[in-house]
């Protein structure tokens, strides 16, 4: 099975402020299944922005990350809000789907666990009768005055159509008790390194002081590190024989490398390939001319040498160190082990950089359904409300997190915030 | 407590009636409890004595739901605003009370408080002060605001200078002033069985934002006026209307504009066939009434007896004694004997009509107003353009008029009267018609632009009587009076036209400088006692669909 990867940016969009909110109030939950701990990390990091001392909080955050001391499980900043529970959020989602006249009916009152079977929830409805009656009782003569009389009936239990929660929302999120850089795949490690490199100078300075220069992750690191492991680089004009005028004596290994080492990491494969083509052609021309100049440097006269195996001195046959690639290849395991020992956790990052691997398992969503006040709203990754051109003005979003909203209608704050307390209603007399 | 009652208490506390707490005043040979005070919120209050009144004129008109009028009082040397005490220099004691002059505010907050009712006690000297009558038929109690004042000069100099004040009901003034933030969307309809919806307005459609026009009228009044003027003061028989309207008060509208706008669009409920309604603020009880016109007719009689809205029974005075031998003509009214103090009452010296003006319907009104109407309607929703021809044809309107109204009158044609106005072939065959565009696509609501205007016009533009009578406080608009002869007479078409019940459209109460109290009463009678067989073939009939070739 392929290792699951995703672009950490998709996890960092901060659609909700904690994992429980994200699970219960949005349908952007695939990442909670695949990368639950990473998601909590991002929520917690966003949260540091709103701490009274973001600098210290961030330093502490990076420290925990480096030392595998971060606690995703029930993390108050990223996993679980202290003032609510997922059951309460479920209750709220069902209640928000009910029209104002319905009150959710559960064994524990309005705020208990909703009784949903299929797409029906139990709710109560209270009916009123407003009648214009005579002020004088049964007397209804020509001079009687009238008044409105409002009577309240007993609540009546009804089944109301709702959209129930999904299995994901029902299941508990599996979170580790401790989590750190070493538990993440290289993409996320790079993501946090990048975050760290672009953090405030004080954060960088103080964290390094705290962890030391030789800590595992937050060190000076670039793709130039570990250049030795790139063995193909050793086959260059210095290590391939000049007598090979057609540049094909050793197959593909005959062609001297032009784009070397770390430069290759960032080169397009097609550019890299054509550099070999060019290398082969130019070296053919170069060598065909140069081979005529093979000479015995030890004499004063011109003494054309025949092409021969490199038994002569380097100055005679112009072949340099043919043995070098062989030696390097022989030691590659040692080299890699050394680099790995040195880089520790960052070795995987180096591998990732040098292998140019980037494939997605978690796709990016076309729309995210999110709870906005008491409504379900559809938005994109930038948290903009979606306008869908092939839907009509009457098409509404699914109502899982509250009443559905129209896709193609702009809402004002007052539309979403309107509630009985906000609306002005003339008092009935 | 109503506002008026509060002011009354305040005036009593001020002791302005110190020498006449019973407020008894003499008008010709009758005694009335009469008082008129001018006061304002700054604490200035004066009593306007009957003797100082040059003219008091109060008009009660069915076309205005409120009372209004003017009063001219003697104000020599502007004493009203200058007085310091009764006699300058007198010491204040039990006999002489300090008089604080009045100070006009001039912002419609100068109030006039009027009480006027018959004094039924004989009032022998030494007798205790009688109870007030306080009766909804006989008592007039008003709180007016003075909306304009005027100094009236006299030829005889400043000692005869007068102050004239124009007034109308304070509730009308409030409606003229108030901008209301009203919308039916903010006050959704919740009649009948319902749940308390919290659906935001944005999620309601226009139908859900609409409510019956009758309810809007109540809402407007309740929004603009003080709670004491509306709480439990709406009639039980309030007609909620047959159509709904989604209405938001425009920012440039005062409450009175809103009220007029909705009244223009109000039609009765379907059981009254979307007919016009009359809006009225009842005097004394201060109740708000919105009744379909049919209800006024229904209340004119109760079988062969007077209905609850039959008020006074008038007799036409007669110079000659007719022949007593002939068979008496059919009675055109209920007769004098069936009476209660509240219905069909008759005062031998007061309920008498000496002379009267009888106005036939104007010919031009009949031909140019009461004709067929072709109503254009357009539905923006489904792009449907409709034209109503049949329902608004004058023949059909006339049948409807007969059916809705005249069938409830006291008459001799199948137990009821016959509509007194005429249609003819030119009008019924659409050679003489009007065209109107409706403000709505709803056919019932569109009655307001055509049929209802015809019904109202036929009701109010028809045969009218107007006469002066000695003053009586019970007289008011919006009720019926009966007019009959006590003596024998020779029955003919004229008597069938003139005798019977009149719907009172206007009453004025006037007190003059001589202390006389009189009424001018105007009433309409849109029916004959019996069918008088008019020809309905138009004398000037011309088929205007054809132009003769020369």
Q: Tell me what the mean pLDDT of segment B391-398 comes to.
A: 93
Same domain, B485 and B350: yes
Q: Tell me what the mean pLDDT of segment B297-311 comes to.
A: 93
Contact A190, A425 (CB under 8 A): no
Same domain, B338 and B276: no
User: Hey, are the CB atoms on A127 and B194 less than 8 Å from each other?
Assistant: yes
Average pLDDT, chain B: 89
Q: Kindly report the backbone phi and psi dihedral angles of residue B500, in degrees, each rounded to the nearest multiple of 5, phi listed first.
A: 135, -155
* Chain A contact set for B187 (CB, 8 A): 425-426
* Confidence at residue B125, expressed as pLDDT on a 0 to 100 scale: 65
User: Hey, are the CB atoms on A130 and B197 less than 8 Å from each other?
Assistant: no
* Chain B contact set for A126 (CB, 8 A): 195-196
* Confidence at residue A321, expressed as pLDDT on a 0 to 100 scale: 74
* Chain B contact set for A133 (CB, 8 A): 236
Question: How many A/B residue pairs have CB atoms within 8 Å?
Answer: 91
* Chain B contact set for A135 (CB, 8 A): 232, 236
Confidence of residue B511 (pLDDT cuts 50, 70, 90): very high
Same domain, B344 and B478: yes
DSSP calls for B5-17: HHHHHHHHHHTTT
User: Hey, are the CB atoms on B202 and A426 less than 8 Å from each other?
Assistant: no
- How far is the alpha carbon of B55 from chain A, nearest alpha carbon, in Å? 33
Model-level pTM greater than 0.80?
no
A 391-420 near B (Cβ less than 8 A): 411, 415, 418-420
Token digits for B87?
């006699």
Domain final residue, candidates B172, B206, B241:
B172
Domain final residue, candidates B298, B326, B346:
B298
Same domain, B191 and B215: yes
- How far is the alpha carbon of B243 from chain A, nearest alpha carbon, in Å? 18
CA angle A65, A204, A209 (to 5 degrees): 85
Q: Tell me what the mean pLDDT of segment B409-425 comes to.
A: 92
Same domain, B404 and B419: yes
Please check whether residue B280 lies inside any domain of the structure: yes
* Confidence at residue A237, expressed as pLDDT on a 0 to 100 scale: 84
Has residue B548 got a pLDDT over 60? yes
Of residues B225 and B120, more confidently modeled? B225
Has residue B233 got a pLDDT over 90? yes
| Number of separate domains in chain B | 3
Q: Does B18 touch chain A (CB under 8 A)?
A: no
Contact B39, B480 (CB under 8 A): no
Facing B186 at nearest CB: one of A125, A140, A424: A424
| Domain extent at residue B263 | 178-298
* Confidence at residue A366, expressed as pLDDT on a 0 to 100 scale: 84
Please check whether residue B303 lies inside any domain of the structure: no
Facing B195 at nearest CB: one of A127, A415, A429: A127
DSSP calls for A303-323: -BPPP--TTS-HHHH----TH
Please check whether residue B304 lies inside any domain of the structure: no
Has residue B129 got a pLDDT over 60? no
Q: Kindly report the backbone phi and psi dihedral angles of residue B142, in degrees, each rounded to the nearest multiple of 5, phi listed first.
A: -135, 145
Instruction: State ipTM.
Output: 0.84
* Chain A contact set for B192 (CB, 8 A): 129-131
Domain final residue, candidates B172, B196, B230:
B172
User: Hey, are the CB atoms on B236 and A132 less than 8 Å from each other?
Assistant: yes
User: Hey, are the CB atoms on B136 and A100 less than 8 Å from each other?
Assistant: no
For chain A, the straight-line distance linking the first and the last C-alpha, in angstroms and rounded, comes to 71
Please check whether residue B382 lies inside any domain of the structure: yes
Same domain, B408 and B532: yes
- How far is the alpha carbon of B236 from chain A, nearest alpha carbon, in Å? 4
Q: Does A124 touch chain B (CB under 8 A)?
A: no
Facing B198 at nearest CB: one of A141, A419, A424: A419
Same domain, B387 and B522: yes
User: Hey, are the CB atoms on B192 and A130 less than 8 Å from each other?
Assistant: yes
Contact B373, B392 (CB under 8 A): yes
CA separation for the pair A367, B230 (Å, rounded): 54
Please check whether residue B113 lies inside any domain of the structure: yes
Contact B332, B499 (CB under 8 A): yes
Has residue B198 got a pLDDT over 70? no
Q: Does B308 touch chain A (CB under 8 A)?
A: yes
Same domain, B323 and B409: yes
User: Hey, are the CB atoms on B308 and A141 less than 8 Å from each other?
Assistant: yes
Same domain, B334 and B195: no
* Confidence at residue A162, expressed as pLDDT on a 0 to 100 scale: 93
Q: Tell me what the mean pLDDT of segment B492-520 comes to.
A: 94
- How far is the alpha carbon of B267 from chain A, nearest alpha carbon, in Å? 19
* Chain A contact set for B249 (CB, 8 A): none
* Chain B contact set for A147 (CB, 8 A): 232, 234
Please check whether residue B57 lies inside any domain of the structure: yes
- How far is the alpha carbon of A107 from chain B, nearest alpha carbon, in Å? 23
As a 3-state breakdown, chain B gives helix, strand, coil percent values, each rounded to 5, of 20, 30, 50
CA separation for the pair B323, B84 (Å, rounded): 67
* Confidence at residue B18, expressed as pLDDT on a 0 to 100 scale: 66
Confidence of residue B10 (pLDDT cuts 50, 70, 90): confident
Q: What is the DSSP letter of A204?
A: H
User: Hey, are the CB atoms on B196 and A100 less than 8 Å from each other?
Assistant: yes
* Confidence at residue B379, expressed as pLDDT on a 0 to 100 scale: 93
* Chain B contact set for A125 (CB, 8 A): 195
DSSP calls for A139-200: ---TT-EEEEEEEEPPPEEEEEE--PPPHHHHSPPP--SSB-GGGS-HHHHHHHHHHHHTS-
Please check whether residue B328 lies inside any domain of the structure: yes
CA angle A270, A274, A279 (to 5 degrees): 150
Same domain, B147 and B283: no
Q: pLDDT per position in chain A (429 positions), as tens?
A: 345 567 788 888 888 999 999 999 999 998 888 889 999 999 999 999 999 999 999 999 999 999 999 999 999 999 999 999 999 999 999 999 988 788 899 998 889 999 899 899 999 998 889 889 999 888 888 889 999 988 999 999 999 999 999 999 999 999 999 999 989 988 899 899 999 999 999 999 999 999 988 888 888 888 788 888 888 888 888 888 888 889 988 888 889 998 887 888 878 888 889 999 999 999 999 989 988 877 777 777 766 666 555 567 777 777 767 788 888 888 888 988 988 888 888 888 888 888 765 555 556 788 999 998 889 999 998 889 988 889 988 899 999 999 999 998 887 776 666 555 454 444 444
Same domain, B70 and B215: no
CB atoms within 10 A of CB A143: 18
Please check whether residue B550 lies inside any domain of the structure: no
Same domain, B196 and B233: yes
Of residues B461 and A307, more confidently modeled? B461
Q: Tell me what the mean pLDDT of segment B182-189 comes to.
A: 85
């Amino acid at each position: 099975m392929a290792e699951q990867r995703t672009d950490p940016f998709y996890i960092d969009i901060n659609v909700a402020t904690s994992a429980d909110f994200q699970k219960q109030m949005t349908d952007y939950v695939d990442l909670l299944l695949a990368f639950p701990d990473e998601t909590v990390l991002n929520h917690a990091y966003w949260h540091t922005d709103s701490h009274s001392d973001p600098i210290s909080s961030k330093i502490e955050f990076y420290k925990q990350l480096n030392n595998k001391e971060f606690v995703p499980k029930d993390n108050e900043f990223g996993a679980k809000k202290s003032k609510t529970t997922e059951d309460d959020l479920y209750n709220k989602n069902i209640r928000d789907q009910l029209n104002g006249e319905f009150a959710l009916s559960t064994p524990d009152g309005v705020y208990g666990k909703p009784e949903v079977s299929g797409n029906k929830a139990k709710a109560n409805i209270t009916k009123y009768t407003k009648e214009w009656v005579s002020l004088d009782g049964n007397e209804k003569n020509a001079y009687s005055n009238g008044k409105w009389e409002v009577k309240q009936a007993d609540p009546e239990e009804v089944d109301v159509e709702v959209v129930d929660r999904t299995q994901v929302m029902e299941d508990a999120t599996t979170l580790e008790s401790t989590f750190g850089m070493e538990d993440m795949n290289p993409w996320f490690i790079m993501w946090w390194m990048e975050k760290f490199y672009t953090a405030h100078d004080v954060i960088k300075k103080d964290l390094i002081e705290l962890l030391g220069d030789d800590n595992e992750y937050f060190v000076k690191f670039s793709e130039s590190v570990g250049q030795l492991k790139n063995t193909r680089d050793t086959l260059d004009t210095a290590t391939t024989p000049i007598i090979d005028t057609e540049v094909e004596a050793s197959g593909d290994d005959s062609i001297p490398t032009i784009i070397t080492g770390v430069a290759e990491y960032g080169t397009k494969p097609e550019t890299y390939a054509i550099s070999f083509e060019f290398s082969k052609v130019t070296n053919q021309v170069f060598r065909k001319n140069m081979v005529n100049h093979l000479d015995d440097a030890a004499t004063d006269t011109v003494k054309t040498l025949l092409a021969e195996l490199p038994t002569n001195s380097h100055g005679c046959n112009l072949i340099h160190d043919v043995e070098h690639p062989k030696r390097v290849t022989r030691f590659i395991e040692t080299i890699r082990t050394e680099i790995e020992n040195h880089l520790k956790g960052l070795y995987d990052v180096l591998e990732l950089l040098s292998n140019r691997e980037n494939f997605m398992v978690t796709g990016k969503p076309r729309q995210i359904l999110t709870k906005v006040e008491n409504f379900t709203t559809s938005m994109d990754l930038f948290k903009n409300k979606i306008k869908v051109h092939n839907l009509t003005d009457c098409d509404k979003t699914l109502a899982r997190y509250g009443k559905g909203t129209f896709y193609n209608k702009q809402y004002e704050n007052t539309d979403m915030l309107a509630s009985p307390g906000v609306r002005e209603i003339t008092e009935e007399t | 407590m109503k506002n008026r009652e509060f002011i009354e208490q305040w005036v009593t506390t001020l002791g302005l009636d110190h020498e006449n707490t019973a407020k008894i005043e003499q008008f010709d040979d009758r005694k009335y409890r009469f008082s008129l005070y001018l006061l304002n919120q700054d604490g200035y209050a004066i009593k306007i004595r009957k003797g100082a009144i040059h003219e008091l004129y109060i008009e009660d008109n069915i076309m205005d739901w409120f009372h209004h009028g003017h009063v001219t009082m003697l104000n020599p040397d502007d004493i009203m605003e200058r007085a310091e005490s009764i006699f300058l220099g007198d010491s204040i004691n039990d006999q002489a009370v300090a008089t604080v002059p009045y100070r006009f505010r001039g912002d419609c907050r100068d109030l006039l408080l009027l009480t006027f009712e018959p004094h039924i006690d004989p009032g022998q000297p030494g007798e205790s002060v009688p109870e007030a009558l306080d009766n909804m038929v006989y008592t007039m109690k008003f709180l007016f605001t003075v909306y304009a004042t005027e100094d009236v000069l006299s030829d005889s100099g400043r000692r005869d200078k007068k102050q004239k004040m124009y007034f109308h009901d304070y509730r009308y003034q409030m409606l003229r002033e108030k901008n209301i933030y009203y919308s039916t969307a903010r006050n959704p309809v919740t009649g009948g069985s319902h749940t308390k919806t919290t659906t935001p307005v944005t999620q309601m459609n226009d139908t859900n934002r609409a409510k019956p026009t009758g309810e809007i009228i109540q809402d407007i009044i309740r929004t603009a006026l003080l709670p004491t003027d509306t709480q439990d003061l709406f009639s039980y028989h309030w007609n909620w209307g047959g159509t709904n309207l989604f209405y938001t008060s425009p920012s440039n509208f005062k409450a009175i504009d809103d009220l007029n706008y909705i009244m223009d669009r109000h039609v009765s409920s379907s059981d009254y066939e979307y007919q016009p309604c009359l809006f009225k603020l009842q005097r004394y009880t201060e109740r708000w009434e919105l009744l379909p016109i049919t209800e006024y007719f229904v209340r004119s009689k109760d079988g062969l007896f007077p209905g609850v809205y039959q008020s006074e029974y008038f007799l036409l005075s007669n110079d000659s004694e007719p022949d007593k031998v002939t068979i008496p003509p059919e009675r055109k009214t209920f007769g004098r004997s069936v009476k209660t103090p509240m219905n069909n009452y008759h005062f031998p010296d007061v309920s008498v009509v000496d002379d009267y003006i009888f106005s036939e319907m104007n010919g031009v009104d009949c031909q140019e107003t009461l004709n067929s109407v072709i109503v254009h309607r357009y539905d923006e929703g489904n792009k449907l353009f409709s034209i109503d021809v049949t329902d608004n044809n004058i023949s059909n309107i006339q049948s409807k008029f007969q059916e809705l109204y005249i069938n409830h009158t006291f008459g001799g044609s199948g137990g009821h009267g016959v509509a007194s106005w005429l249609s003819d072939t030119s009008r019924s065959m659409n050679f003489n018609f009007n065209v109107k565009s409706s403000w709505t696509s709803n056919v019932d609501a569109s009655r307001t632009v055509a049929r209802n205007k015809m019904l109202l016009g036929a009701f109010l533009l028809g045969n009218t009587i107007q006469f002066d009578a000695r003053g009586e406080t019970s007289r008011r608009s919006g009720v019926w009076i009966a007019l009959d002869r006590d003596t024998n007479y020779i029955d003919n078409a004229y008597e069938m036209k003139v005798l019977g019940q009149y719907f009172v459209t206007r009453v004025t109460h006037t007190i003059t400088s001589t202390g006389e109290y009189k009424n001018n009463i105007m009433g309409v009678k849109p029916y004959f006692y019996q069918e008088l067989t008019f020809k309905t073939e138009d004398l000037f009939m011309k088929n205007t669909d054809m132009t003769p070739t020369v």
